[in-house]
Amino acid sequence: MQGQIPFGVADYFWEEALQRQELIADLLATFRAWGYGDVMPPAFEYAASLSAQASAGLQAEMYRFLDRDGSTLALRPEFTTPVARLVGTRLHDWPMPQRFCYGGSVFRYVDPQAGRQREFWQAGVELFGAPSPDADAEVLALTAEAMAVTGLADYRIVLGQMRYFGGLLAALDLTPPQTEALHWAIERKSEPALADFLRETPLRTGQRQAVEALPGLSGDPSTGSGHRDIQRVIDQAERHCLNTEMHRALVNLREIVDALAGYGVLGYVVLDLTEIRSLGYYTGISFEALAPQSGFSIGSGGRYDDLVAHFGPAQPAVGVALGVDRLLLARQRQAGATVTPQPVRPHALVITNRNPAAIAQVQGWRTEGYRLQVEVNGRGLSDVLAHAVQIGVGQVLAWEEGRFVAYRANADGLFAPSQGEISFDE
Amino acid sequence: MSNTATLAPDTEKAVESRPPLLFALPKGRLADESLDLLQRAGLSVPVDTNSRKLVLPSSDGSIGFVMAKPWDVPTFVEYGAADVGICGLDVLRESGRRVHEPLRLPFGYCRLSVAGPKDRPDTPLRYASQPRIATKYPRLAQEFFRQRGVNAEVIGLSGSVELGPVLDMADLIVDIVETGNTLCANGLVEIRTILEVQAVLIVNRAAYQLKSRQIQGLIERVREAI
C-alpha cells in the first residue's frame, strides 16, 4: 500500500514535468502580454460556491469532503467560478474591465481518458466587465495565440452562439420534454432524432423551417476561407430568424467577426450554430478548440454573463480554459512522435574542490542558463567520470591547478581532456 | 531555454501512413450488412475482411477500415482513433460514449428488453424490493430500474444471460431480443422494451468538424444508399 498512488493521479518527472511547467509558463507569459493579471484561487473552497452554476454533470464530478467544522468543501473542478467569486465579492468596485489569467490543476471524479486524469491541468483567462463583441474577439484571438505558442500548426476553433438556439427555443414555445428532445438531437447531430422531433411536435411552417435549417448552420473548415464561410452560415441563419433574440445573436456574431479580422485568425474559426454544449451556462458565444488526431477538445470557453451575479453585482464576462495535458498530447501527435521520458541532463558535472574561484565561475555559467551539477559527495575524477557515463552526461569539468579542465566524451563514449575554451553543447 | 522532445523516427512513419479517414466496423453480426451498405453507397470496401492486417485500406486508399469488436467501436470513435464507425444502438447507449450519431442504418433491428419467468412474468419487476437482474448491459439495466425507483441488484454477465433465471441466480434478465425464440426455449417471456435497437453511424466529435468535407460526403452517400 505504501508505494501506491490513488487512481486518477500521476507522478510527472524529468522531461515530462519540465515540458508541462514550460508550457504553462509560456501560456501565462502570453496572457500577461495581453494585459491579463495572475490569479491563484484556493485548491478547495465551499462546495456551494463552486456549484453556483455548475451543470449536473460537473456537480457529480466534484470531489466533496467535510471540513472539521462540518461545512462541505470541494476541490476546484475549474477556475472560472472561483475567479468569478473573487471579482464578485472583492473586486466589484475596482475599475472594469478586469483581466485575469491562471494555470494550475483541477480535480474531477472522471474515468481517466486521453489527456485527462482525475487531477489535470488548465491554463486560461477571464475577462470581466466587457459585454462587447471586441471582448469576445479578444478571447478568441488569444485562444488562437495560445495554440500558436503551444506549437500547434493545425487546429480549429468551433464557434457557436447560444442565443441563436435560445431564441429559437423561445420562439417555439416547447414543453420541457420537447425541448430536451430537440436539444439532444442537435447536440448529437442526429438526423433521425431530429426527424422524430419534427414528426411528434406540432409546429407552424416558419418554425418548422427554422428547425429543419438548423443542422445546416455549420461551417466547413476545409474551405480554407474562414471569413467567407462564416458569412455564408450567418446569411443562411438570417433567413430563419423568428424573433429579435435570434437576430441579435447574428448581429453579435457579425461584429465579432469584424473585430477578429485584424488578428488574422479567421482561417482557424469555424462557425457552428448547432454548437449548444452547456446551454444555460454560456449566455453568448461558446467555443471549443479542436486538433486533428486528438478526439477530445483541447480547450473551451465562452461568454457567461450570469455567473458573477451569484457572488456580487452582475458583471458580463468571457473566458477560455485550455487543457494543458491535451495541448501537450496534441503537440506530440502533430510532431508525429512519441516521447520517451528522459531525465533533463545537466550540461556538465563539475568538481570544484570547494575552491572559491571555481565556484564563482560555475555561478557565472549558471546565470548564462547552463545546467551544472556540482559534485557533492567528494568523489574523485574517475568516479565522477563513471557517474557521467551512467547518467549520459557528455562533459565533466575538474578544477586543476587554478583552472577548469574539461573532459569530454568522444564518439565511443570515452572521456578525454579537451583543449581550448570551455564550451557547452546546447 | 526549452528542452525539445526526442523524436523516435520510426513512429513518424506510422502516423504518416494513416489514411485520411478511418472507419471502425463491427466484426460479427453487423459486419456483412455494414459492408453491403457501404458498397451500395459507392465506397470502396476491403475485399478480404478476414485478413490478419488490422487496418484494411480501401482500394483508392482514401479510407482505412478497422475491424473491431462491436463493443469497442464507440470507444475507438470517441477517442478519435477512428473517425467514423458503425455499431448497434444498444452498444452505443451502454457505452455512454460521447459521439455524434448522424444516421440510423436499416439493419441490426432488435430490441433491448426485460424478460422474466413465464409463470410469474410481472411479479419481480413490479413487486420485488430488490430484483436480481442478469445482463450484459449493466448500465442500461441499472438506469431502467432506477427510473422506476428500484435499486436492482445488477449481475453483469458476458453471455448466456438466460441462464440467470434458469439457475435461479437472477429474477429477471435484460437482454437483446430478436425473435424471442431463445427466451421461449428457456421458459422466459418478454416483459418490457427498454430500447428499440438498430445499427447507427457514429462520428467522432472533433473529426466531424475537422474533416467535415469528407465526413459530410460520406454521410450523404450512405444516406442515399439507405
Task: Supply the mean pLDDT for chain B.
Answer: 86
Q: Check residue B46 and give its pLDDT.
A: 74
Decide if A23 contacts A152 (C-beta within 8 A): no
Nearest Cα residue to A320 out of A148, A155, A163, A141: A141
Residue A343: DSSP 8-state: -
Full set of structural domains in chain B with CATH: 19-109+198-225 (3.40.190.10), 110-196 (3.40.190.10)
List the 55-114 stretch of B: residues with Cβ below 8 A of A.
Answer: 77-81, 99-104
Q: Check residue A335 and give its pLDDT.
A: 83
Question: Which DSSP string do the residues of A31-71 spell out, in sequence order?
Answer: HHHTTPEE----SEEEHHHHTTT--HHHHHH--EEE-TTS-
Q: Check residue B56 and give its pLDDT.
A: 82
List the 138-177 stretch of A: residues with Cβ below 8 A of B.
Answer: 156, 158
**Residue of B15, B80, B214 lying closest to A295 (CB–CB):** B80
What is the band of B7 on the pLDDT scale with cuts at 50, 70, 90? very low
Q: Mapping DSSP to helix (H, G, I), strand (E, B) and coil, where does residue B108 land? A: strand
Least confident of A245-249, A309-313, B58-62, B210-214: B58-62
What is the band of B49 on the pLDDT scale with cuts at 50, 70, 90? low
- Asked if residue B59 has pLDDT above 60, the reply is yes
What is the band of B119 on the pLDDT scale with cuts at 50, 70, 90? confident
Question: Inter-chain contact B209–A272, Cβ cutoff 8 Å?
Answer: yes
CATH code, A348-418: 3.40.50.800
Q: Which amino acid is at A185?
A: A
Q: Check residue A420 and give its pLDDT.
A: 79
ipTM score of complex: 0.79
Q: Check residue B17 and give its pLDDT.
A: 60
Whether residue A338 lies within 8 A of chain B, CB to CB, comes out as yes
**Residue of B2, B3, B78 lying closest to A295 (CB–CB):** B78
Q: Check residue A421 and give its pLDDT.
A: 85
Nearest Cα residue to A158 out of A304, A288, A268, A281: A288
d(CA A373, CA A387): 12
What is the band of B126 on the pLDDT scale with cuts at 50, 70, 90? confident
Q: Which three cell numbers stand for residue A341?
A: 521520458
Provide block-wise average pLDDT over 10 residues at a time, chain A (426 residues): 86 92 97 98 97 91 95 97 97 97 96 82 98 98 97 92 94 94 92 94 94 89 73 94 96 96 92 84 94 86 96 97 94 78 91 95 96 95 94 94 92 84 85
Chain B residues near residue A293 by CB distance under 8 angstroms: 15, 80
Decide if A176 contacts A325 (C-beta within 8 A): no
Length of chain A: 426
Nearest Cα residue to B218 out of B203, B199, B197: B203
Query: Considering the domain A14-334, what is its CATH architecture?
Result: 2-Layer Sandwich (3.30)
Whether residue B198 lies within 8 A of chain A, CB to CB, comes out as no
Is the peptide bond between A97 and the residue preceding it cis, with omega within 30 degrees of 0?
yes
- Asked if residue B50 has pLDDT above 70, the reply is no
Give the E-state strand segments of A292-420 in sequence order: 294-303, 317-323, 348-351, 372-374, 395-400, 403-409, 415-418
d(CA A343, CA A14): 4
Question: Inter-chain contact A339–B5, Cβ cutoff 8 Å?
Answer: yes
What is the band of B47 on the pLDDT scale with cuts at 50, 70, 90? low
Chain A closest-CA separation from residue B87 CA (Å): 15
The full set of domain ranges for chain A reads: 14-334, 348-418
d(CA B197, CA B99): 17
A81-95 in b/e form (b: 16+ CB < 10 A) is bbbbbbbbeebbeee
User: What is this structure's pTM?
Assistant: 0.87
Pairing of strands B21-26, A64-66: unpaired
Q: Find the closest chain B residue to A293 by CA distance.
A: B80
Least confident of A164-173, A238-247, B54-63, B164-173: B54-63
Q: Check residue A222 and give its pLDDT.
A: 64
Q: Mapping DSSP to helix (H, G, I), strand (E, B) and coil, where does residue A29 land? A: helix
How far is CA A288 from each of CA A285, A298, A334, rounded to the nearest angstrom? 10, 7, 18
Q: Check residue B5 and give its pLDDT.
A: 40
